[in-house]
Structure 1
Amino acid sequence: MLGIIGGTGLTQLANLKIKRRQIVRTPYGEPSGPLSYGDICGYEVIFLPRHGHGHTIPPHLVNYRANIWALHSEGVRDIVSVATVGGIHEDLHPGVIALPDQVIDYTQGRKNTFHDGGDMPVKHVDFTEPYCPRLRGLCLEAAQNINESLVDGGVYGCVQGPRLETRAEINRMERDGATMVGMTGMPEAALARELGINYAAICPIVNHAAGRGNSVHHIHYEDTADVLNETMERVRKLIERMVVGHAC
């Protein structure tokens, strides 16, 4: 079963024919919202909006453990996440869609493991390659089939949020090797790995990171709405084609 996690700008999938919605209880509390069970082009998927249906949950308060556990308990073994980011590398400007292959975690204080004592023994998972090559390949193939350009590869720098970063912080991240910056990539990817779920992220760039491009002095986040809407429409088409490829 394929699960899709939607982020900013993707609180619902217009091309998802919903059959039912269900609240799933987990040992880690409630997920961000009810799971939506439906199909895209006749193929079953489960959709979950990361920030809630009204986009009311900030990045640092998302119950990532409950979200991943709920999807896993419903039979999801592959997850495609959509997470908007700011572009650090000069090639990652607003309107570009990237498919990261690495991540650096700058967050703090988030519940980032299922194995933190109690009844769950400590478990160390290999995280050398945080994103599933097979799912990334399906995304790239889907993009090619619909003539959509994807940047293949990149390093997702995950920050705490919800505030945006300073120029100095972005400079540090660039020195670390990060090419894009977001707030939700971790611990989501690591939690999926702990449960043996294959995971890939589709990252639309909706703004330049601090001190980059036209945001040398200020980032006007409200100005990203047009780019966000246009890019998300392309992401929906990409996901639709990817779902078909996943089922074949």
Structure 2
Amino acid sequence: MTGWTLGIIGGSGLYEIEGLENVRSERVETPWGEPSGTFTIGEIAGVTLCFLPRHGKGHRIPPDAINFRANIDAFKRLGCTDLLSLSACGSLREDYAPGDFVLVDQYVDRTSGRERSFFGPGCVAHVGLADPVCPRLAGLAADAADAAGARTHRTGTYLAMQGPQFSTRAESYLYRQWGCDVIGMTNMPEARLAREAELPYASVCMVTDYDCWRRGEAAVDVQSILKVMHANTGKARRLVVALAKTLAALPRTPSPSGAETALDGAILTAPDARDAELMARLAAVAGRALAR
């Protein structure tokens, strides 16, 4: 066995992982409510994988109703050392074509009304998020995407929109002017919460469409997305297998992102002023730092 325990969040079209050994299912209770569903836990090449479909079985949870805090807390409770997000996205640039895979390294967060922090009144914390993605995990995932047969882009800025509707054309033109590369509905506040939980995080976004910025072409719709999604899903499953086999040969050392110690110096509330109930809720995600 290696030191890696990889959490995998499956997005649209990816609801199960193939090739797992010693498989079991587990429901995880969290103080933040119910996660998206039951976790599938198994091994590939001796590496433990914990898989959760972000939208639940049968894709029943819309982006704005996902309990991101419960999901991240549950991965932490399962002992995950690293977290890989897989999701569908739209492209905001010509050379990121449907069928391509993009390793996101930056975000512009346009979501609203979503719970975006584990902390709050009773315990205040401000983690650094300048570089929200673990470069080592992202690099290994990019190599695995190449091995899976995907055309891979190793950088990309993700515009996180609220949804559940797609963009207006004016919005799509604006996001392109901002320099964003892809657009989706689910990576935020997921990446923020992963950093607060001190979990190195990487995101593989699978391009399904060109949003609605291409003049003279039909805008994105669910049916056009589904046409591309099937092929992307097969590549994503092969990516997971290739990544697990790579991790099996690598001893795990701390992430160069510093994610595992993100809370050091981030918690401002003095120990004697912290709310006891909130401290209990934070036990899984922040217990290491709170015990200091």
Same fold at TM > 0.5? yes
**Cα offsets for 1:171-214 (capped at 9, x unmatched):** 11112221100000100001000011000001000111112277
- 1:80–1:201 CA contact under 8 A, matched in 2: yes
| Aligned residue number for residue 281 of structure 2 | none
Runs of 4+ with deviation above 6 angstroms: none
Contact between 2:99 and 2:150, CA under 8 Å: does it hold in 1? Answer: no
Counterpart-to-counterpart distance in 1, 2:152 and 2:227: 19
Q: Which residue of 2 aligns with 1:64?
A: 68
C-alpha displacement at 1:146, in angstroms?
4.7
**Per-residue displacement from partner, 1:201-244 (whole Å, max 9, x unpaired)?**
01000111112277x34323212223100111011111111111
Shift of the 64–56 alpha-carbon distance from structure 1 to 2, 3 Å rule, reads: same
CA gap 1:163/1:144 in 2 versus in 1, 3 angstroms: closer
1:164-179 to 2 correspondence within 5 Å? 164-179=166-181
AA matched with 2:10:
G
After superposition, residues 128-207 of structure 1 pair within 5 angstroms as 128-207=130-209
Q: Under a length normalisation based on structure 1, what TM-score does the superposition of the two structures give?
A: 0.94
Consecutive unaligned residues of structure 2, counting only runs of 5 or more, are 250-292
Q: May I ask how many residue pairs the two structures share in their alignment?
A: 245
Equivalent pair of 2:101/2:153 in contact (CA under 8 Å)? yes
- Normalising to structure 2: TM-score of the pair? 0.80
Structure 1 pair 9–17 and aligned structure 2 pair: CA distance change class (3 A)? farther
Identity %: 39
Match of 2:228 in 1: 227
Contact 1:88 1:212 in 2 (8 A): no
| Structure 2 counterparts to residues 24-43 of structure 1, below 5 A | 24-43=28-47
**RMSD between aligned alpha carbons?**
1.5
Which runs of no fewer than 5 residues in structure 1 stay unpaired?
none
3-state SS of 2:57 partner: coil
Quote how far apart the aligned CAs of 1:159 are.
Answer: 0.4
- Map of 1:2 onto structure 2: 6
State the alpha-carbon separation in 2 of the partners of residues 213 and 152 from structure 1.
27
Structure 1 window deviating more from structure 2 (90-99 vs 147-156): it is 147-156
Q: Deviations over 1:142-170 (max 9, x none)?
A: 23445543111010000001110101111
Preserved contact between residue 211 and residue 219 of structure 2 (Cα < 8 Å): no
Distance in 2 of aligned mates of 1:193 and 1:231: 27
Query: Which residue identity is paired with 1:195?
Result: A
The structure with the larger Rg is: 2
8 Å contact from structure 2 (residues 104, 157) kept in 1 = yes
* Greater mean deviation of Cα atoms: 188-197 or 92-101: 92-101
